[in-house]
Structure 1
Amino acid sequence: MRWWIWFRGWLKNQKQMEALPEKKAEEQKSFFLYMRMAPEILTRMRRERGIPLKELELVLIDNENEPVWQVQAILETLVPGLNMLYLVTEREEQFEEQAEELFDSQGLIVAMTKPGTENPSGNLILDLHDWEMHLDIIS
């Protein structure tokens, strides 16, 4: 089921990609690299702060400029090993199905909040607005 949701989003994105200028397409390729390297980036950030994997409570701040399916793909790659995930997003309704599926399949608790309401109590923050900086650090 997750594969079908991802595939539908990917097809929709391919149609949109054809209309993008070349610079935007190059930025999109870089974001795809970030999507693939997100677990390594998270591991590096976690180790730098000395947070054991068992105690990791991740705060993921959504970048509304990126399509939902890409953020969902990042979530899928980061899920193994997480105990708690705080998702800060304006697009809560688009992530509800995935949050329920993650709870049912892996027992992961996903708490969603809107930006600026309250600070989530996680011990590691991954802000998707800073994805280029994260990619530069790991590269």
Structure 2
Amino acid sequence: MMTRHLLGAALAACLVLPVAARADTAATAGRSAAETWDKTYNSGDMDALVTLYAPDALVIPKGAAISGPSEIKTFFSGLKAKGFDDHRITVQSARETGDVLVLSGRWEMNGPGEGGARKKFEGNWINVMERRPDGWRTVLHTWN
């Protein structure tokens, strides 16, 4: 009877551990990607920022979607030039399926408010990444 329980526990552990390991790997990759994005945007290096995206990536801000390195660089350069900075992403969920990593969480940044005062902006964030030969690259980035 004891052997049967031990075998059952061992089998359960074998089934659960790979899932837990994948979840941990996805969460680590997601946090790393978010930290790199924040650091790169906050530094103002928009040439480096666009390398975090796949060449055919889609960014969907409020309004019309944009795609491609040139449009993505122009969009984020414009935000930075208007005084939006101190960007911070908090990854709350990470799910890896094959070569796709789906991340969600919260974002926040500071920007110009009424009368020249600084204002905190924040909302929900979703990032879909694809594993490419040179690492994870964002293929879809949106927020509200």
In the superposition, the TM-score normalised over structure 1's length comes to 0.33
Asked which structure has the greater CA Rg, the reply is 2
Q: Which is helix-richer, 1 or 2?
A: 1
Q: Which is strand-richer, 1 or 2?
A: 2
In the superposition, the TM-score normalised over structure 2's length comes to 0.32
